[in-house]
Amino acid sequence: MATQMTQTPTKPSAELMFDTLNAYQRTAGLKAAIELDIFTAIGQGVNTVPKLAKRCEATERGVRILCDYLTIIGFLTKEGQEYALTPDSAMFLDRRSPACLASTAGFLALPEFLGNYQNLADAIRHGQSAFPGEGTISHENPIWVQFARSMAPLQRPKAEEVARLLNADAGEKWKVLDMAAGHGVFGIAIGKHNPNAEIYAQDWGPVLAVAAENAREAGIASRHHLVPGSAFDVDFGSGYDIILITNFLHHFAPATIETLLRKTRPALAPNGRAVTVDFVPDESRLTPVRAAAFTMTMLGSTPAGDAYTWSEYERMFKNAGFSSNELHSSLDGQAVIISRA
């Protein structure tokens, strides 16, 4: 006679609740380590508390607690009294690494973001951003200068992916509009791959100054032109072979997006393509996790922004008069949509 196995039910646990309520400590700890340059120091062999305290001009108690905490949450390892970088930390947090993303803390951990999430319940009640007024989409918000200076390393691999998708290396004569260019890396990537591409970067003037710096460093300044002003108001011109709309549409409600797309479509050449890069969750709005969770960023920082599904984007582009759209999914949560006029 078969024996029926009984399964002991898992006991409820408050661990997730306390981990989440204390999650601000993870943000603060990582931000402090980046500011003190802990990861670079350890990567260079400065790997004990006394040596790190001297290098970082900090107290031994503070360094010990911080490094132990970073070990507990997975950024460091510890053997005896010596710390070492994990593979992820070595790649993304040691400033000597070409893939270092430490600069992103300059935007993602801004006090304006962290502080305003304290009032998230009010934002949900009243349908407003936790930020004052129009939040991050307010006119010429200086936060976008910080974004441009901090976030370029994060987007360079995606910009390279877009350049490959468009076959920029073929060297066709292109006129490219980089809408809401920010750091400008998407247009710059195309300009580097295609010596026959003229790039027109549109954004608010102070932000474009950062894009212009990046274009000079990339060696394409002579083909990098500035179009200052709001994407909703400025004259784009016409005849663009490529229009880049990268990490921008999620800030707005569908009706506002359609208004912008209706303005965008006539600026394309007859065979031109609009290339959208954005977070696109599946229809359940639960996966991919990074794309789906991005909705919380929009809830806290904009009055009406969201992460839209593929069916929602298809509908918006169709309503704006685009003839076809194709989705290129990506494991990082940022999809690429190529739309034809």
**Is residue 1 over pLDDT 50?**
no
pLDDT tier for residue 40 given thresholds of 50, 70 and 90: very high
The answer on pLDDT for 135 being more than 70 is: no
Question: Residue 189: is its pLDDT beyond 60?
Answer: yes
pLDDT at 5 over 80: no
pLDDT over 90 at 128, yes or no: no
Contacts within 8 Å (CB) and 24+ apart, 126-131: 127/303, 128/303, 129/300, 129/301, 129/302, 129/303, 130/300, 130/301, 131/300, 131/301
| CATH number belonging to domain 21-100 | 1.10.10.10
The arithmetic mean of pLDDT across residues 172-188, rounded, is: 98
What is the pLDDT, as a whole number, of residue 301?
A: 86
Question: What local confidence, expressed as pLDDT, does residue 9 receive?
Answer: 72
Q: Is the pLDDT higher at 164 or at 301?
A: 164
| Per-residue pLDDT at 3 exceeds 60 | no
- Higher-pLDDT residue of 175 and 11 is 175
- pLDDT given at position 114: 84
Does residue 295 have a pLDDT over 80? yes
pLDDT tens string 203-257: 999 999 999 999 999 999 999 999 999 999 999 999 999 999 999 999 999 999 9
Predicted pLDDT of residue 118? 84
Percent of the chain with pLDDT over 70: 94
For tokens 């009984």, the residue is: 6
| Residue 119 confidence (pLDDT) above 90 | no
Q: What is the mean pLDDT of residues 155-183?
A: 97
Which residues contact residue 3 at a Cβ distance below 8 angstroms, ignoring those fewer than 6 apart?
A: none
Is the pLDDT at 131 greater than 70? The verdict is no
Contacts of 175 (CB under 8 A, 6+ apart): 197, 198, 200, 239, 240, 241, 242, 269
pLDDT in tens, 269-285: 999 999 999 999 999 99
Model confidence at 4, in pLDDT bands (50, 70, 90)?
low
What confidence tier does 115 reach under pLDDT thresholds 50, 70, 90?
Answer: confident
**DSSP-H helix ranges across the chain:** 15-21, 23-36, 38-43, 49-56, 60-72, 87-92, 105-108, 111-116, 120-126, 143-150, 152-165, 185-193, 205-218, 254-264, 289-301, 310-319
> What pLDDT, on the 0 to 100 scale, is given for residue 286?
96
Q: Is a pLDDT exceeding 70 seen at residue 340?
A: yes
Going from N- to C-terminal start, the domains of the chain cover 21-100, 119-340
Say if residue 288 is preceded by a cis peptide, omega within 30 of 0.
Answer: yes
64-77 average pLDDT score: 98
77-93 pLDDT, tens digit each: 999 999 999 999 999 99
CATH code matching the domain that covers 119-340, chosen among 3.40.605.10, 3.40.50.150, 3.40.640.10, 3.90.380.10: 3.40.50.150
Lowest-confidence segment of 136-140, 197-201, 262-266 by average pLDDT: 136-140
